[in-house]
Amino acid sequence: VCFDQRGCGRSEPKGNLHANTTDDLISDLDLVTTHFGLARYILFGGSWGATLALLYAMEHPDRCLGIILRGVFLNTFDNLNWLYGGGAASLYPAAWSDFVAPIEDDKQPSLEDVLEGYRMLLNAEDEFTRLQAARAWNLWEHRLSTCDPQATQTGEKSPRRELSSAQVEHHYLSQRCFLQDRQ
């Protein structure tokens, strides 16, 4: 059984941030497995999904036969800072320049600068600004995940989907994925 987390992919409503925390996602996994009558199962997750699989397995070891993880993202400060505070910029400087161009002033932006700058852009009053910010956010993500710093497409099918994806991801990252008490 595969499913998209709240506000993402085919989940409705797209981009919804209400009641959208890590604990809510863990509860959703319980709801889905109960709905399909699954008592024990193997979890599979990549990136943020790997983090969710790990958290779920730690909270419900009796229900997990095993876990398969790929591209593990552990949400540590070092992980976040490397991705959004400039560490990855050393590998892909041109792609980083594209990513920070909407928020950059004369200094190298910190993790907090990036998150705050994109918070304002992704929630701007005018739709064009929101969509452009979402495109830049998702393109940075796509370039990193595919190791293709010249990629020009994100794989998202529509600007609305790009916006909801960026808003949900930013929501989680700006709150340290709601995991402070679990670290």
More confident of the two residues 155 and 69: 69
Predicted local distance difference test score (pLDDT) of residue 13: 78
Predicted local distance difference test score (pLDDT) of residue 106: 62
Residues with Cβ within 8 Å of 155's Cβ and at least 6 positions away in sequence, in order, are 142
Predicted local distance difference test score (pLDDT) of residue 181: 59
Q: Is the pLDDT of residue 92 over 80?
A: yes
Prediction pTM value: 0.87
Predicted local distance difference test score (pLDDT) of residue 128: 96
Predicted local distance difference test score (pLDDT) of residue 182: 55
Q: What is the pLDDT of residues 106-120, one digit of tens each?
A: 677 899 999 999 999
Q: Which of 35, 6, 4 is nearest to 23 (CA)?
A: 6
Contact 26, 39 (CB under 8 A): no
Q: What is the largest CA-CA distance in the chain?
A: 56
Contact 170, 162 (CB under 8 A): no
Segments making up each domain of the chain, as ranges: 1-73, 74-183
